[in-house]
Amino acid sequence: MPAPASPRLVALDGLSQIIGEGRMLSEITSDPVWQDLTPAERATAQRLITETLRYLGRADHLLTPHLQRQPPLRVMNLLRMATVELNTGGAAHGVVNEAVKLAGRNKKTAPMKGLVNAVLRRVTEQEPEAWADAPDTLLPKWLRPKLAKAWSKPVVAQIERAHAVPPPVDLSVKSDAAGWAEKLEGTLLPTGSVRLSARGQLSALPGFETGDWWVQDAAAALPVQLLGDVAGKRVLDICAAPGGKTMQLAAKGADVTALDISEARMVRLTENLTRTGLPAATVVADALTYDDGLFDAVLLDAPCSATGTIRRHPDLPYIKSQTGIDDLVNLQRAMLTRAVQHLKPHGTLVYCTCSLLREEGEDQIKWLLSQTDAVEVQKPVAPGLDPDWISPEGGVRLRPDYWADSGGMDGFYMAVLQRKADPAPE
Ligand SMILES: C[S@@+](CC[C@H](N)C(=O)[O-])C[C@H]1O[C@@H](n2cnc3c(N)ncnc32)[C@H](O)[C@@H]1O
């Protein structure tokens, strides 16, 4: 009988699937082999994959001088994973032994056990500064030049630096953010989110069972703030699941309709509403055809490349490509057109994407204004909104390198639009 899969073996297989086949980590973790691991082992395997991808640039930099030629991908990934472990607190003897054992478990990699052993021993002999001074993981070729064109090469380097820092956990609270920041020994951020200082099991923290807060990056919490006072207003949350923004709207007293095309994601939204005890009507439907009268406010958190969340999901660069982006841009345009039609006269629309790409952000607002004069851009107003974040067309551009000294933020774009009064009949 073969030995049961260890977290390291599962992580190594996962890395090959992400880097070699472009599979998403969130998809891989549903595979049967992951279900055979204990929750603690699953967390270890997930951490090994995430950290290896986060520090891939550094690992390759340290490994290259010891490799005459690049070994097969599986061996390279094994070396990368062990190099990252060695430089992030792993005990040298144990990590090297495990890596050699792992190489021995596969017919194709077994002949390279000697190489794995020799290379990793050389890595253990390097000074700690070699790791600290090694270059950050570069953004992929389809993304890097675009961001350099938008903001310059030094800004891209800052973003890559920010991606090398594991993101903190931010919470949105139902009420009394300052009180919860104190209770949880976190920090109250200028925009109203609570940033936790320590990592640990979230479900064990005060306020989880009672549904007083939910996890939501500070940047992701800002679009709802831009809608202003929504208490008592009829609000349509298009693309709502898993419901971070729906819960914010409901907590502010809005009469929310949460809409999403994905039944499975809507189950998560309903679970979130149940845990927090917040009310919202839920609809599983296609945003492009849904029709239920007019709303005071509409939030469109459109599907996008998610390139603003690479620091949380370092597997993203291996999965996305420019091909998929063009389809997303077209979908966002169709959704924006439909979102405007849901607005009452003087109603407010917030459009947002967790993308770093202008084509999914700034350019979409320019496009909308070139298509219709039914809406106009409104000045964004929210607590803690830094005026430097406001972009030339009047939206808000957030980047992972902002707040660098206090843990950063996800990349996001958001803009506020108001529907003009209908023209008086002639
Ligand atoms: C960025 S996520 C939304 C995140 C959510 N607003 C939150 O804060 O938790 C985008 C969502 O768009 C949904 N979506 C994609 N195409 C859609 C469509 N045609 N109609 C409605 N929802 C759609 C996806 O199922 C996904 O849940």
CATH no. for residue 266?
Answer: 3.40.50.150
Q: Which helix (H) or strand (E) holds 52?
A: helix 39-54
Give yes or no for a contact between 328 and 304, defined as CB atoms under 8 angstroms apart. yes
The number of domains in the chain is: 2
Calculate the average pLDDT of the chain: 95
Where among 74, 109, 133 does a domain terminate?
133
Ligand 1 atom nearest to 237, measured from its CA: 6
Two structure tokens written together for 242: 């898993």
Q: 292 with 379, same domain?
A: yes
Confidence band of 90 (pLDDT split at 50, 70, 90): confident
Nearest to 168 by CA among 199, 206, 203, 204: 199
Distance CA 419, CA 413 (A): 20
Q: Which helix (H) or strand (E) holds 272?
A: helix 263-276
Two structure tokens written together for 177: 């953010």
405 annotated to bind ligand: no
Q: What is the CATH number of the domain that holds 101?
A: 1.10.940.10
Instruction: For ligand 1, say whether the CB of 262 is within 6 Å of any of its atoms.
Output: yes
- 178, part of any domain: yes
Confidence band of 199 (pLDDT split at 50, 70, 90): confident
- 152, part of any domain: no
Distance CA 308, CA 305 (A): 8
Q: 126 with 191, same domain?
A: no
- Residue position matching structure tokens 């939204």: 269
pLDDT (tens digit, 9 = 90+) per residue, 297-318? 999 999 999 999 999 999 999 8
Nearest to 413 by CA among 380, 383, 384: 380
Domain range for 361 is 170-419
92 annotated to bind ligand: no
Q: 104 with 245, same domain?
A: no
pLDDT of residue 321: 78
Phi and psi (nearest 5°) for 278? -100, 140
Confidence band of 1 (pLDDT split at 50, 70, 90): low
pLDDT of residue 323: 79
Give the distance (Å) from ligand 1 centre to CA of residue 266.
9
